[in-house]
């Protein structure tokens, strides 16, 4: 059996109704990314940043996984080889679709992080500036457990290990604009994996992929998953 690593980005959740980051207007839900998704922004204006993430967290209750999330969960359940879904997304749509072998490299909206005692814990409702840590009970020290620009993504050791072993790397719905995720295709290539991009349009790193499929994730991902499960091979062999 073969080993598959899948990277997902905001594009996989777009058809569920969640806005991607790099929309045509360059804003994320009306904000500049620097104003809401950096540690400096949080230090400067914690109320604005909390309001922003409280709204994103509340929005999760209004959206559902789409056919792309469902197809990846099916692949996870049925693929007997190693498989890891690495998502850059902070939504919970992969897990709600049933994916188990999943890792959130940019954190999760539904988790809080206490900067006083370093505990991380599930968080469902609004957080706001006055949130109290569930462990040390300090008030005002809980922030969204989200990896902001300038912070280190989570679980890089596990991701690197999976990429080292991968036979196939698939990138879905990501613009390839943000490292280190944007560099996974090259790491996988150096280790001898085949690589596939599924996106609405060519990403910034599209030239690095062996195979490219362009279209809505809700159509392209189920099609690809079906092919893989029928063929029991993650990718067709390279042309001779």
Active site residues: 106
Q: Which of 9, 205, 222, 234 binds ligand APR (CB under 6 A)?
A: 9
Angstrom distance (rounded) from CA 132 to CA 134: 6
- Binding segment (CB under 6 A) for ligand APR, from list 50-58, 91-99, 157-165, 171-179: 171-179
Instruction: Establish if 201 lies at the interface with ligand APR (CB under 6 A).
Output: yes
Contact status: 174 vs ligand APR (CB under 6 A): yes
Among 6, 14, 36, 73, binds ligand APR (CB under 6 A): 14
Residue in 3, 171, 195, 203 binding ligand APR, rule: CB under 6 A: 203
* The three-state (H, E, C) secondary structure of 64-117, written as one string: CCCHHHHHHHHHHHHCCCCEEEEECCCCCHHHHHCCCCEEECCEEEEEEEECCC
Measured between alpha carbons, how far is 13 from 9 in angstroms, rounded to an integer? 8
Q: How many residues bind ligand APR (CB under 6 A)?
A: 22
Q: Considering beta carbons, is residue 147 or 235 the nearer one to ligand APR?
A: 147
Per-residue binding letters, 95-114, with ligand APR (x by CB under 6 A): -----------x--------
Site for ligand APR contains 205 (CB under 6 A): no
Residues within the interface to ligand APR (CB under 6 A):
9-11, 14-15, 20-22, 33, 88, 106, 173-175, 177-178, 199-201, 203, 216-217
């Amino acid at each position: 059996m073969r080993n598959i690593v899948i990277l997902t980005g905001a594009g996989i959740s777009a058809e569920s109704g969640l806005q991607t980051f790099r929309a045509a207007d360059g804003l994320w839900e009306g904000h500049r990314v620097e104003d809401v998704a950096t540690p400096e922004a949080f230090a400067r204006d914690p109320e604005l940043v909390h309001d922003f993430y409280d709204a994103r967290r509340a929005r999760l209750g209004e959206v559902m996984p789409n056919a792309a999330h469902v197809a990846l969960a099916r692949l996870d359940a049925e693929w007997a080889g190693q498989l890891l879904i690495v998502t850059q997304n902070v939504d919970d749509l992969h897990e709600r679709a049933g994916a188990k072998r999943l890792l959130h490299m940019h954190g999760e909206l539904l988790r809080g992080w206490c900067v006083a005692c370093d505990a991380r814990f599930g968080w469902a409702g609004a957080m706001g500036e006055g949130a109290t840590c569930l462990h040390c009970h300090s008030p005002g020290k809980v922030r969204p457990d989200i990896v902001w620009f300038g912070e280190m993504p989570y679980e890089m050791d596990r991701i690197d290990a999976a990429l080292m072993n991968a036979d196939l790397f698939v990138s879905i719905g990501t613009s390839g604009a943000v490292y280190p995720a944007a560099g996974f295709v090259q790491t996988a290539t150096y280790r001898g994996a085949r690589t596939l991009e599924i996106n609405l349009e060519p990403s910034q790193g599209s030239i690095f992929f062996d195979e490219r499929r362009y279209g809505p994730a809700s159509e392209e991902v189920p099609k690809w998953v079906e092919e893989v499960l029928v063929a029991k091979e993650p990718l067709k062999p390279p042309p001779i």
